[in-house]
Amino acid sequence: MTDVLDADIAAFRAGLAGSVVMAGDSDYEAVRAECIWNGNIQSRPWMIVRCSSAEDVAATIAFARASGKELSVRGGGHGFSGACAADQGVMIDLGPMAEVTIDPAAMRARCGGGTRWAQLDAAAQEHGLATPGGFISHTGVAGLTLGGGMGWLTRKAGLSCDNVTAVEIVTADGRILRAAADENPDLFWAVRGGGGNFGVVTSFEFQLHREGPMVELALFFWDLDGGGAAFRAARDLVPSLPDDISMFLAGLNAPPAPFVPEEHQLKPGYAVLLVGHGSAEEHTRAVDQLRRAAPPLFEFMTPIPFVGLQQMFDESAPWGIQGYEKAVYLDELTDDAIDVIVRHMPAKASPMSFMPIFVLGGEYARRAEGDTAFGGSRSTMYVLNIAAVAPTLELLEADREWVQRMWSDLVPYAEGIGSYVNFMADYEEDRIRAAYGPDKYARLAAIKAAYDPDNVFHHNANIRPAAS
79 binds ligand FAD (CB under 6 A): yes
Beta carbon of residue 176, minimum distance to ligand FAD (angstroms, whole number): 13
Beta-ladder partners of 364: none
Neighbour-count burial for 298-313, b at 16+ CB within 10 Å, e otherwise: bbbbeebebbbbbbbb
140 binds ligand FAD (CB under 6 A): yes
Q: Is beta strand 71-74 parallel, antiparallel or unpaired with respect to 90-93?
A: parallel
Give the Å distances, CA to CA, from 146 to 229, 240, 432, 440. Answer: 36, 31, 14, 15
Q: Is beta strand 209-210 parallel, antiparallel or unpaired with respect to 129-130?
A: antiparallel
Beta carbon of residue 291, minimum distance to ligand FAD (angstroms, whole number): 26
Cα 226 from Cα 355, distance rounded (Å): 16
Stretch that binds ligand FAD, among 123-131, 139-147, 263-271, 371-379 (CB under 6 A): 139-147
For 201-230, the DSSP string reads EEEEEEE-EE--SEEEEEEEEEEGGGHHHH
Beta carbon of residue 265, minimum distance to ligand FAD (angstroms, whole number): 21
Q: Which is nearer to ligand FAD, 45 or 77 (CB)?
A: 77
Give the Å distances, CA to CA, from 446 to 56, 182, 197. Answer: 28, 20, 12
Stretch that binds ligand FAD, among 15-23, 24-32, 76-84, 239-247 (CB under 6 A): 76-84
Extended strands (E) in 277-409:
298-305, 322-330, 355-359, 382-390
Q: Which is nearer to ligand FAD, 35 or 241 (CB)?
A: 35
Give the number of residues written for the chain: 468
Contact 193, 375 (CB under 8 A): yes
Beta carbon of residue 342, minimum distance to ligand FAD (angstroms, whole number): 23
Binder among 49, 144, 330, 463 for ligand FAD (CB under 6 A): 144
Stretch that binds ligand FAD, among 3-11, 146-154, 292-300, 362-370 (CB under 6 A): 146-154
Binder among 31, 120, 146, 274 for ligand FAD (CB under 6 A): 146
Q: Is beta strand 47-50 parallel, antiparallel or unpaired with respect to 90-93?
A: parallel
Q: Which strands, in side-by-side order, build the sheet including 355-359?
A: 298-305, 214-223, 268-276, 245-253, 355-359, 382-390, 322-330
**Which residue sits closest to ligand FAD, CB atoms considered?**
143
Beta carbon of residue 38, minimum distance to ligand FAD (angstroms, whole number): 7
Binder among 20, 59, 64, 77 for ligand FAD (CB under 6 A): 77
Binder among 151, 194, 251, 465 for ligand FAD (CB under 6 A): 151
Angle between helix 54-67 and 6-14 (nearest 10)? 170
Give the chain's count of helices (H) and strands (E): 14, 18
Binder among 32, 50, 69, 74 for ligand FAD (CB under 6 A): 74
Q: Which is nearer to ligand FAD, 76 or 193 (CB)?
A: 76
115 binds ligand FAD (CB under 6 A): no
How many Cα atoms within 13 Å fall on the side-chain side of residue 350? Answer: 28
Contact 222, 251 (CB under 8 A): no
Cα 286 from Cα 283, distance rounded (Å): 5
Binder among 18, 95, 113, 193 for ligand FAD (CB under 6 A): 113
Which residues, 266 to 295, sit near ligand FAD by CB under 6 A? none
Binder among 91, 111, 142, 381 for ligand FAD (CB under 6 A): 142
* H helices present in 238-362, as ranges: 280-293, 306-311, 335-344
Give the Å distances, CA to CA, from 463 to 92, 118, 119, 317, 458. Answer: 20, 30, 30, 29, 8
Q: Which is nearer to ligand FAD, 72 or 233 (CB)?
A: 72
Residues contacting ligand FAD: total by CB under 6 A? 36
Beta carbon of residue 271, minimum distance to ligand FAD (angstroms, whole number): 15
Which residues, 409 to 428, sit near ligand FAD by CB under 6 A? 422
Binder among 184, 311, 372, 460 for ligand FAD (CB under 6 A): 460
Beta carbon of residue 10, minimum distance to ligand FAD (angstroms, whole number): 27
Cβ neighbors of 242 (< 8 A, separation 6 or more) are 278, 279, 282
x/- map, 307-346, ligand FAD, by CB under 6 A: ----------x-----------------------------
Stretch that binds ligand FAD, among 25-33, 195-203, 236-244, 246-254 (CB under 6 A): 195-203
Which residues, 10 to 49, sit near ligand FAD by CB under 6 A? 37
Cα 209 from Cα 406, distance rounded (Å): 37
DSSP summary character for residue 123: H
75 binds ligand FAD (CB under 6 A): yes
Stretch that binds ligand FAD, among 8-16, 42-50, 192-200, 268-276 (CB under 6 A): 192-200
Contact 395, 425 (CB under 8 A): no
Q: Which is nearer to ligand FAD, 246 or 460 (CB)?
A: 460
**Which residues of the chain form contacts with ligand FAD (CB under 6 A)?**
37, 72-80, 83-84, 94, 113, 134-136, 139-140, 142-144, 146-151, 195-196, 200-201, 317, 422, 459-460
